[in-house]
Amino acid sequence: MENIFDDTYFMKKALEEAEIAFQEGEVPVGAVIVIDNRIIARAHNLTEKLNDVTAHAEMQAITSAANFIGGKYLKDCTLYVTLEPCQMCAGALYWSQISKIVYAASDDKRGFTVMGTKLHPKTKIIDGILSDEASQLLIRFFEQKRRLN
């Protein structure tokens, strides 16, 4: 039998979180953290609700996953996030020593790649999973925002 728990499966779950952010008027970025094919953290961007520039989806997910595990390191965990992490989140992910990061859309302006931020040497990175869906959601959000302003 085919394993349904692949990167696309979990990225869809992260996209569901991004949709929730969209409904709440937040920049639509969502994240889940998975261990052994099990989601242990779900989060989306909360910067508007919390008036906190650090409330990115990844930051929420890291805290939530560490609480679940009962330890600060996210070894054997995979983060699925709909947008390439920024340098703040990449820094936090570095400290978490997370095993794998899968992101959908690239962020050519503020992504960790273009910013030159290093991840932990143990962290494996995969990009481009459902990137069209993730960037369409972001484009839709910013178009709507422009119309309302």
- Which residues sit at the interface with Zn ion, rule CB under 5 A? 56, 86, 88-89
Q: Which is nearer to Zn ion, 6 or 48 (CB)?
A: 48
The answer to whether 30 and 14 have CB atoms below 8 angstroms apart is yes
Q: Which is nearer to Zn ion, 9 or 115 (CB)?
A: 115
17 CB-near residues (< 8 Å, 6+ apart): 30, 31, 32, 42, 43, 44, 57, 82
Tokens in use for 146? 């422009």
Q: CB 50 → Zn ion: shortest distance, Å?
A: 14
Q: Which is nearer to Zn ion, 4 or 53 (CB)?
A: 53
- Is 58 in the active site? yes
> Which DSSP string corresponds to 10-76?
HHHHHHHHHHHHHHTTS---EEEEEETTEEEEEEE--TTTTT-TT--HHHHHHHHHHHHHTSS--TT
Q: CB 2 → Zn ion: shortest distance, Å?
A: 33
Residues facing residue 39 across a β-bridge: 34
Q: Which is nearer to Zn ion, 9 or 125 (CB)?
A: 125
Q: Write down the catalytic residue from 17, 26, 58, 84.
A: 58
Q: CB 3 → Zn ion: shortest distance, Å?
A: 30
Tokens in use for 16? 């569901």
Q: CB 58 → Zn ion: shortest distance, Å?
A: 5
Indicate which residues carry an active-site annotation.
58
